Amino acid sequence: MSLVLLAACSGNKAEPSPTSSHSVTQSDEQVLYNFINTKLTGPYGVFTNFQETDQNGEAASGHEILSESAGLMMRVAVLTGNKELFAAQWKLAQQTFDMKDGFSYRYSPKLDKQYPVNAAVDDLRLIRALYEAGEIFGETQYTEQADKYGRRFYDNNVENGYLRDFYDENYKIANESITLCYINLSTMQKLSISDELRGILLGNMNDILKGGYLSDQFPFYETRFDYKTDKYGSENINTVESLLSILSLAEVDQQKASSIKYIKQQVDAGTLFGQYTKEGVPANDIHSTAIYAITAMIGSEIGDEILYRQSIARMNELRVSDSSSALYGGFGDVHNKQAYSFDNLMALLAYSY
């Protein structure tokens, strides 16, 4: 089961009110939000894909709903200062995903099936959004909920001071590895646990994340770390995953200059591809919306306005501009009408940075 890119609106028509100081126009953000809200959303949240499926595959598809999407929408609501949208998204996320031991990573409306497994990256995003909402909106209830869910998360997804990818509620076990892009250091800093436990967790995960650095020639990161073998493992390097790792480091001012230089060069040339070998040779020629959304976030995080603007411009080149298309205003393939929640929500989040 791949949880990284498995991949919530309630019909609420509240609209984001952009507050970003960047060059994104209100229409950029508004048109994309309208596409997501009217074409990519159902009663349980944002669809995994515009095209419906039978919803019984190994990976989420069609109009299944992901906790990933709920967390991204909640963060958009916070960053755009939309208190009503946040409240609606959080209420729906609780109804759709909350379990005894974590947030289900996936819900199938067609099968009425809540998968009994969480994903660390998605739980941490929900917890982060709650902390941000508590601070930005001055709502202590959100901070208290973040503390509560953060303690639950630590109890189930952390073993012996090490973060695990997922926790299976049925079998009461976590897996034996960590995907590096799941390591969100800034959120783990906020977990409501003792200073000692937090220090151990942050020290361990910081070391694992930094230790996954590939090389100065190809300054991306390994995919995962196996606790049993004490080794890193990667097939090809997925660019989205490495960029998320770099963003996590940038959020705590620990990004490597070599990584930033490489990203800036590739964004400027428009040559950031979806996958590479570990030596840095492109393994495909795919240009991904999410890739440029994440490089925009990295630019914003490190205060590099040029990187932010160039990334948004590259991202917008992939946007559906044909007003007669069902995907108008969104990001997707107009020929087969595939539009994924992750691409569209990451783009919306990037506009909000």
Which residues are CB-neighbours of 160 under 8 A, at least 6 positions away?
Answer: none
Tens of pLDDT, residue by residue over 17-61, are: 333 456 566 688 999 999 999 999 999 999 999 999 999 999 999
Nearest-5° angle of CA 260, CA 282, CA 224? 70
DSSP bridge partners of 107: 65, 114
Q: What are the tokens at 350?
A: 């990037």
Identify the DSSP state of 105. Answer: S
Whose tokens are 């994440």? That residue is 294
9-39 burial, b for 16+ CB within 10 Å, e for fewer? bbebebbbebebebebeeebbbbbbbbbbeb
User: SS3 of 170, please?
Assistant: coil
Beta strands in 90-220 (DSSP E): 106-108, 113-114, 158-159, 162-163, 167-168, 173-174, 177-179
Q: Rounded distance, CA 115 to CA 99, Å?
A: 10
CA-closest candidate to residue 294, choices 231, 243, 348, 234: 243
Q: Give residues with Cβ within 8 angstroms of 25, minimum separation 6.
A: none
pLDDT of res. 24: 64
Q: What is d(CA 90, CA 168) in angstroms, rounded to the nearest whole number?
A: 23
Q: In DSSP terms, which residues pair with 47 in a beta bridge? A: 65
CB 4 within 8 Å of CB 183: no
**pLDDT at site 23:** 56
Straight-line distance from the first to the last Cα atom of the chain, in angstroms, rounded to the nearest whole number = 31
Sites in the chain below the pLDDT cut of 70: 1-26
Q: Which SS3 state, helix, strand or coil, does residue 114 take? A: strand
